[in-house]
Structure 1
Amino acid sequence: MRIHHLNCGTLTPPGESMVCHVLLLEVGRHLVLVDTGFGSADVRAPGRLGPVRHLLRPALRPEETAVARIRALGLDPAAVSDVVLTHGDLDHAGGLVDLPHAQVHLLAAEQRAIRHPRGLLEAQRYRPSQWAHGPRITPHRPGAVRWKGFEGCVDLSTVAPGMLLVPMPGHTAGHAGVAIPAGSGWLLHAGDAFHSALSLREGSSRLDVRVRQGLLAHDEPALRSTQHRLGALARRDPAVRIINSHDRKLWEQA
């Protein structure tokens, strides 16, 4: 299994340049995506992203869409059989419209929130236009697997060998990480469970990052608990490489 690290959406909020860190897995003849970033429809019509685009300030370059990134690698987007979402935010799910044949995997709690958003935050983060094409969704309830101190993990080995969907609550109602065996260890894509690597170091997170994470959190105490467990994992197990969705340095080091 070969893993590619893609930037499928540059974000330029005030004072920072961020990426949308997407994983592309070559699994035999099939391709699997972890998140999708923005899609071609978002590039053509930015207004479909709603007012939050004025905060995120996405570059929306056609060459940064997942399908364009896949073609640039000499691969066929039609070979994407599955997409595994950490969550359904607009900067993670926009590329689904370009992959209508793919099976989409996410936690059932996240699917419920997407279908029935509650409050202003959920109404803005889940954009109906990104889901209007009717993607083929497989919602997963928390499973029986325990991994590295995280409970309720879902075995997705039918999607990619050894893959796990790891509940990491807080950022959204059904936020999850994705763990993938890599060499002698693991690669863990933690989505938006943290925005900066500093968040995993006790007392080191920048104030602006803490404020942003708090404003976007569905459940801030749960988010802090998730970050505490991720920080503990990072300290005790160097065989687990932890990345996230938006830290540019983590993407550049991939």
Structure 2
Amino acid sequence: MSTPPCSPLDEELLENESDSSDSEISRRTFVKAAGILSAGVATGLPRMAEAEAAQTAAASVPQTISVTLKVNGKSEALTLDTRTTLLDALRDHLDLTGSKKGCDHGQCGACTVLIDGRRVNSCLTLAAVANGAEITTIEGLADGDNLSPVQAAFLEHDAFQCGYCTPGQICSATALLTEQKHGTLSTVSFETGNLSNPQLTDNEIRERMSGNICRCAAYPNIVAAVRAAQRASA
């Protein structure tokens, strides 16, 4: 006996039943997969926590290094955290507090010192990098009671107010005079075309001292002091 054909209503019921069955299987599969995944994550979490704790503990253990800093003509042997900056080594370990911590981001110049005659921001320089180099701070510029030409000029021209930035300003100006003697060029030198022997005009001085900020705005007196120091040391 042949099967009687389905009516349109029967076909619709069959289709709905098939869709419902497929949907039920899909939901079951999803729940099963989610359960397996959750179990795996739960099992792995303690291991991840242990690994993170071990990594944190390892990072918190300071790594030290032995360095010899030649500061103002005197060698100082120190054992420091490898992350110690030259500024912190000078201030906290050698009690040379003339170099100031201003912005601690290399933007204000209050921490300027000289390394092998060149000015650097000591807050951005690792002490390990300065190992064995000749370091000069504001404390090492004078010869006993005799001030350096730059120090004397800053006093004579009242090139400071609160004085916080002054050590960095003086160290920077000291290096500036050496750079000018060696014919080092600045942006102003290229703008004016004075490339063979740039003179320390006011604009040259302002450009070359632009890395040192004075919140008291004693800039005109600073420029005058640098110009006077250049004449005195010529």
* TM-score (norm: length of structure 2): 0.28
Which structure carries more helix by proportion? 2
Which structure carries more strand by proportion? 1
The structure number with the bigger radius of gyration is 2
* TM-score (norm: length of structure 1): 0.27
